[in-house]
Amino acid sequence: MSRMIPPRARRSAAVVPLIAIALFSASFARAADRPLPQETPPRGMTELPSPALPGSGEPDLAVAPDGSVFMSWIERREGGGGRLRVARLVGQQWSDSVTVAEGESLFVNWADFPRLLAPAKDQLVIAWMWKRPGGTYAYDVRVASSKDGGRKWSAAQTPHRDGTATEHGFVSMAPERDGVRIVWLDGRAGVGKKEGEAEMTLRTAWLSPDGTLGADELLDARVCDCCQTAAARSAAAGTIVAFRDRDAGEIRDIGLLRNAGGWQRSAPPADRWKIGGCPVNGPALATRNHMVALAWFTAPGDTAQVRLAVSRDGGWGLADVVRVDDGDPIGRTAVAVLPDGAIAVAWLEHERNLQATVRIRRVAIHETLRASVIAARTTESRSSGVPRLAVDGTRLLVVWTDDAKPARVHVTAIPIASL
């Protein structure tokens, strides 16, 4: 498996184009029209107390249908491995955190982080990676669920049954048929093959409401080795899965699949990004009712960009893609659909001296493109991880990781009205 972080000229920000209808006004469709970022903090932006201790990273956010917000993260252990924790946000404070799993075998990696889903009130599902003997990237996906808001958790299960000492990770999840659709990258095809000869595959399984895992199923036989996947539920188009595809010519554009009574492949506008290694930069996906937003990093022609595609019909139709970065993106995108139907896109933008900022841009129908806002300052190192977004009533929550020694997860709240 070829893993690489592209040089500065090739930084990738994968945003899959799920678009529909002419969502965006022509006034900001061109990259040259992007206004300069807002250097002063957005009005009312505050940092909430973080439940994550120093030595933490790999955060994720989940919002339940009733609006409850949950966060997961990993805290390093002195003896190796880590401790997977979950907490619930109550107003401005977090509940006492609960440990879901811990041990030396807990796989801790800035790019392949645990994923949290809140499909119903007080119901949570979390997926994480657990090392097994056989190699650096030999690890399994483990999944557990809670029915009481994260206080107690079920025994862990593994959605794949191949039993091979290969990579299984980069998980995403979405509600489906009162259960949960689980998607992951699966390296079982690499058994008996040399590094670089094996094909990474995309596979899926369904977790029923009673906690029973169905058989795993192949979705794509050749995908990028180590880019995050994304999954979401659309009211119109069923489950949507976004991932970085890979063809025989090393074109690594975003792939898109829908499960509406059967899996169907969509054809988002092609970037035609040819790169001889994995950029470790997957797409982000968010939905609200019939609105679907897809954001990603790409760098065709060595021009790094963060792109956004939006659909108002559940992802069935395609439209133009909008570039949203400020000219020198690192990528690591996140996206959220705001209550008024606008889209918030977050990404890391390169600064001088290996520094980076977490930036957010609001994109709305028939609205002139606004300046991005700087939500946080960090570095471009791997330890700064991938920012995550969640809508909490009238505010946007941004979870990000600093590059202190030790690093720590932070939570920033921005009034949506000030974006």
Quickly count: other Cβ atoms within 10 Å of residue 133's Cβ. 7
What is the overall mean pLDDT for the chain? 89
DSSP string, 268-309: PPP---B-SSB-S---EEEEETTEEEEEEEE-GGG--EEEEE
Q: Is pLDDT above 50 for 93? A: yes
Q: What is the pLDDT of residue 95?
A: 96
Using one digit for the tens of pLDDT, what is the confidence trace for 15-31? Answer: 333 333 333 333 333 44
* pLDDT category of residue 278 using cuts at 50, 70 and 90: very high
Higher-confidence residue: 86 or 177? 86
Q: pTM for the complete prediction? A: 0.91
Q: Read off the pLDDT of each residue in 320-324 and give the average, rounded to a whole number.
A: 85
Q: Is pLDDT above 80 for 10? A: no
Q: Read off the pLDDT of each residue in 398-409 and give the average, rounded to a whole number.
A: 95
Q: What is the pLDDT of residue 80?
A: 87
What is the fold, at CATH topology level, of the domain defined by 8-418?
Answer: Neuraminidase (2.120.10)
Higher-confidence residue: 89 or 320? 89
Of the listed ranges 10-19, 144-153, 180-189, 334-343, the one predicted with least confidence: 10-19
Q: Is pLDDT above 90 for 118? A: yes
Q: Is pLDDT above 80 for 124? A: yes
Q: What is the pLDDT of residue 13?
A: 33
Q: Is pLDDT above 60 for 89? A: yes
Q: Read off the pLDDT of each residue in 351-361 and give the average, rounded to a whole number.
A: 95
Q: Is pLDDT above 80 for 123? A: yes
Q: Is pLDDT above 80 for 113? A: yes
Phi, psi at 242, each rounded to 5°: -120, 145
Using one digit for the tens of pLDDT, what is the confidence trace for 248-275? Answer: 999 999 999 999 889 998 866 689 999 9
Q: What is the pLDDT of residue 315?
A: 57
Specify the length of the chain in residues. Answer: 419
* pLDDT category of residue 314 using cuts at 50, 70 and 90: low
Q: Read off the pLDDT of each residue in 190-198 and give the average, rounded to a whole number.
A: 76
Q: What is the pLDDT of residue 234?
A: 87
* pLDDT category of residue 136 using cuts at 50, 70 and 90: confident
d(CA 251, CA 272): 6
Share of the chain residues as helix, strand and coil, in percent rounded to the nearest 5: 5, 45, 45
* pLDDT category of residue 243 using cuts at 50, 70 and 90: very high
Q: What is the pLDDT of residue 15?
A: 32
3-class secondary structure, 160: coil
* pLDDT category of residue 231 using cuts at 50, 70 and 90: very high
3-class secondary structure, 194: coil
* pLDDT category of residue 6 using cuts at 50, 70 and 90: very low
3-class secondary structure, 137: coil
Q: What is the pLDDT of residue 3?
A: 54
The 8-class DSSP code of residue 150 comes to: T
Every domain of the chain and the residues it spans: 8-418
Q: Read off the pLDDT of each residue in 363-392 and give the average, rounded to a whole number.
A: 94
Q: What is the pLDDT of residue 263?
A: 94
Neighbouring-strand partners of residue 169? 185
